[in-house]
Each structure stands twice: as C-alpha cells, then as structure tokens.
C-alpha cells in the first residue's frame, strides 16, 4: 500500500511540476520580457511581430492547461481503478513516460517556434558589422573535465551493467535500451558540436550571453547524460531483481529529474536581469 | 579578444581579418603560442564564407604571423610580433628595384623585362 502512496505522490508531483510549475515560470518570464522590451523599442526581439509572439504564448498556456487537466483526470481515474482492484501498480509502468512525452509537447513546440524566430531574426539581420571571438571554443571552456568524463565513464558503466545482467547476450530488450542510450548521447554530441562550431543562432546576442547560454546547455547535457546512464542501470536492476512495483515510481522520478536538469537549470542559471536586451533595440540612427 | 568586420567596408573581408589579427598580435592582445579559432568557427561566427577566412589565414601563415599545427589547430607564431612589423610591399619594391637596376646594367630593355616577367609569371 505504501509503495502505491509514494507512486501517487510522485505522479502528482510530475503532473504539477511539468504542466503547472514550469509553464507558470516560463509564462511569467515571457510577461516580464514583454513588459521590459516593448515591441516599438525592441523590434529585433519580435521578428514575427508582437501579436504572433503573443499568440504563441496563449497557445503554450492553453496546451499546458489541457494537459494539466488531463493529467489530474488520469491521476484520479488511476487511484479509483487501483483501489477497486481493476489495475495493479506494475501495469502502470508505461504511464509516467507516456504522460511525460505528452507533457513535453508544449516545451517542444516552444523550442521549435523559438528556432523559427531565430532563423527569421538571422534573415532580417541587416547589420553590416559582425563580431567574433579570437579564441577557439572547446567543450572544456563550458564544463569541467571531471563532469564531462563522469558522463563518459557512466555511459560505459551503464553499458557494462546492462550487458552483464543479461550474461553478455544481446536480446531485443538490451538492443532497444542500448540503442536509445546511443541515440540520446549522440543527440547531445551533435547539438553540442553545433553549439561550439555551428552558426550563431541569435545574430544579436552578446558574446557574454552566448557564453552563459552555452555553459548552461552543456551543463544540462552532461547532467542529463549521467542521469540517463543511472536510469538504465536502475532499469536493469528493477528487471533483474523483479522490482516491478517500483518501476512506475522510478520512471516518474526519472522524468522529473530530466526536466529539473534541463528546463529547471535553464530557468535557474539564465537570469533575466543579467541578459543584455539592448542588443535587440530598434536602430534609431538615420541614414543621410 | 573580439574582432569586428564590416561587410559594407570597401576593404575586402579577408584583408580586414588580416589587419585585425596583425593588430591584435602587435598590441599583444594575443601572444605567441595562443590558439586561434578554427576557420569554420570564425566563418560561422562572422557569417562569412569559410574560403574568406581560409584566405586570410593563408596570408597570415605566409607572413609567419600564425602557424597551423595539423589537427591541433592554428596558433600564433612564436615570432609573430616581429613578423607583423615586416612590410611585405616595401620589401618587394626594394627587391624589384635592385633586380631592375642589375638588368639595366646588363643592357636589358624595359619591354624585354616586361615580356619575360609576364611569361615567367604565367608559367608559374
């Protein structure tokens, strides 16, 4: 009974953290930016126009509200079904992940629309002067070698644990887990490489802000990579020791940790008052 | 250390890069042995073609202001500061003046020199 109570708490926390707490913080940041940087003075910040940006904000709020209500309905339904004995806890191990993916959808839409805005910003950029740092960027400018190598070592430890629990035989389960770990870390490597050596996403962003953003992103990537390795070790342990009732709880906690280390870290380390918004000011100099 | 290029400036972008890197070396904002960004990184940051940055790096390497150490990257040359002071144009003019004086002493005419110079340059 107590394991069910812990899972209820964890799942409720997942619903509220990802679909209420973080969206609320993101929306208040948006409001703060809209207030601080009005469209008439900071036109470069709104390449799509202020109204479009506002529409995006409303859509984001609406999606999160719908998902929050859905989550609470699923939560109550699950408790009733479980209490009536219609469903067991071990049958619910897919729920935290499946619902987590749904919860991630508004964040994904927000991310994609931000990338589109930045692309438009680059296309509209008519500044003739361009700046660059005369020093090479390396991953160790942004994360400590200890943190980086911990992530690498954890990857190998997790692979070893995964295969050793399966007597070093390749089964479809192991192949899927190993494939998803490779995919996840590969994605981080690709995104990290493009951050280091790729095109400047925001053409107006000051070098200091770019450095801060890159540091936060790399910290987040390494933390999530370590977390993914730890999760796969736990997943194999749960399977090996037949701790089926614990799996939904671990899945829910894992998903929350991923959001804490990615979105949470981004919100914590990127302080609005430290961002240089002057670079987005409308050009007032007249050409004669 | 930041470098700035102006795409509306009549001076070619690669020349702006050469001048600014030389200025950074002369003013010791970058020191011998300091690493420089890769061609790709600098081209992406400045939103210019990587061939433009490559051309600037080649000219700086020719003047021994920078040196490429294989896969390790590009670094400021140990004698970069001294090499920055060398005015290649003045040195070239001086070499040509000496050479032309020697040819004239030998009785070679201006047109013969022009034709030979042009032929040699074209053969190269």
Residues of chain A neighbouring B71 (CB-CB closer than 8 A) = none
Instruction: Tell me whether residue B46 is exposed, middle or buried, using C-beta atoms within 10 angstroms of its C-beta: 0 to 12, 13 to 18, 19 or more.
Output: buried
DSSP state of B59: H
The predicted-structure confidence for B68-98, as pLDDT tens digits, reads as follows 988 889 999 998 888 887 666 777 788 888 8
Helical H runs in chain A?
2-16, 22-36, 50-83, 95-124, 145-164, 172-197, 207-240, 247-259, 265-269
Read off the pLDDT of each residue in B108-116 and give the average, rounded to a whole number. 92
Closest partner CB to A207 (pick from B2, B29, B42)? B2
The pLDDT, as a whole number, for residue A288 is 35
- Identify the pLDDT of residue B103: 92
Q: Give residue A285's pLDDT band: very low, low, confident or very high (50, 70, 90).
A: low
Model pLDDT, residue B84: 81
Nearest CB partner across the interface for A135, out of B1, B9, B40? B1
Please tell me which residue, A144 or A90, carries the higher pLDDT value.
A144
Per-residue confidence at A286, pLDDT binned at 50, 70, 90?
A: very low
pLDDT at A32: 94
Cross-chain residue pair B4–A129, CB shorter than 8 Å: yes
Min Cα–Cα distance to chain A from B29, Å: 10
- Percent of chain A past pLDDT 70, that is, above it, reads 98
Interface of A with B in 124-163 (CB under 8 A): 128-137
Contact at CB, B6 and A196, closer than 8 angstroms? no
Record the tokens describing residue A250, joined without a space.
Answer: 């671990």
Query: Which of A129, A136, A199 is the closest to B73 by Cβ?
Result: A136
Question: pTM (2 decimals)?
Answer: 0.80
Considering only CB atoms, which chain A residues are within 8 Å of B16? none
The two tokens of residue B14 are: 């690669």
Q: pLDDT tens, A2-12?
A: 888 899 999 99
Q: Do A200 and B40 touch (CB under 8 A)?
A: no
The predicted pLDDT at position A284 comes to 63
Whole-number pLDDT of residue B85: 73
User: Residue A236 has what pLDDT?
Assistant: 86
Distance CA(A118)–CA(A114), nearest Å, equals 6
Torsion, CA B87, CA B89, CA B93, CA B96, rounded to 10: 110
Mean pLDDT value across residues A96-118: 93
Strands B35-36 and B66-68 turn out to be: unpaired
- What rounded mean pLDDT belongs to chain A? 90
Of A128, A136, A198, which has the smallest distance from its Cβ to B8's Cβ? A128
């Amino acid at each position: 009974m107590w394991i069910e109570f812990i899972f209820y708490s964890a799942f409720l926390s997942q619903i509220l953290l990802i679909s209420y707490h973080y969206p609320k913080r993101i929306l208040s940041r948006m409001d703060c930016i809209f207030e601080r940087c009005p469209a008439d003075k900071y036109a470069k910040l709104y390449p799509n126009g202020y109204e479009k940006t506002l529409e995006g904000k409303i859509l984001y709020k609406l999606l999160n509200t719908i998902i929050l209500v859905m989550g609470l309905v699923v939560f109550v339904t699950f408790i009733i079904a479980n209490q009536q004995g219609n469903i067991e806890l071990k049958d619910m191990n897919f729920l935290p992940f499946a619902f987590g993916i749904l919860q991630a959808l508004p964040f994904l839409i927000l991310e994609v629309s931000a990338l589109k805005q930045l692309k438009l910003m680059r296309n509209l950029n008519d500044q003739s002067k361009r700046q660059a740092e005369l020093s090479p960027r390396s991953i160790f400018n942004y994360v400590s070698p200890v943190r980086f190598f911990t992530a690498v070592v954890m990857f190998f430890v997790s692979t070893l644990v995964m295969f050793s629990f399966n007597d070093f035989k390749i089964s479809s389960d192991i192949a899927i887990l190993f494939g998803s770990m490779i995919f996840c870390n590969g994605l981080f490597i690709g995104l990290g490489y493009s951050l280091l050596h790729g095109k400047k996403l925001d053409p107006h962003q000051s070098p200091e802000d770019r450095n801060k953003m890159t540091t936060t992103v790399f910290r987040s990537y390494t933390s999530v990579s370590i977390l993914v390795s730890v999760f796969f070790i736990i997943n194999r342990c749960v399977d090996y020791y037949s701790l089926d009732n614990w799996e939904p709880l671990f899945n829910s906690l894992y998903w929350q940790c991923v959001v804490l280390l990615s979105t949470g870290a981004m919100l914590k380390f990127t302080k609005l008052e430290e961002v240089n918004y002057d670079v987005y000011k409308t050009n007032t100099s007249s050409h004669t | 250390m930041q470098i700035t290029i102006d795409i509306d400036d009549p001076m070619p972008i690669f020349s702006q890069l050469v001048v600014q890197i030389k200025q950074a070396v002369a003013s010791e904002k970058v020191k011998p042995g300091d690493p420089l960004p890769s061609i790709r990184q600098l081209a992406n940051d400045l939103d210019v073609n990587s061939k433009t940055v490559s051309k600037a790096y080649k000219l700086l390497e020719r003047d021994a202001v920078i040196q490429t150490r294989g896969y390790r990257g590009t670094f400021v040359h140990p004698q970069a500061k001294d090499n920055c002071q060398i005015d290649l144009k003045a040195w070239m003019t001086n070499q040509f003046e000496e050479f032309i004086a020697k040819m004239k002493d030998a009785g070679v005419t201006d047109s013969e020199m022009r034709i030979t110079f042009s032929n040699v340059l074209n053969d190269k």
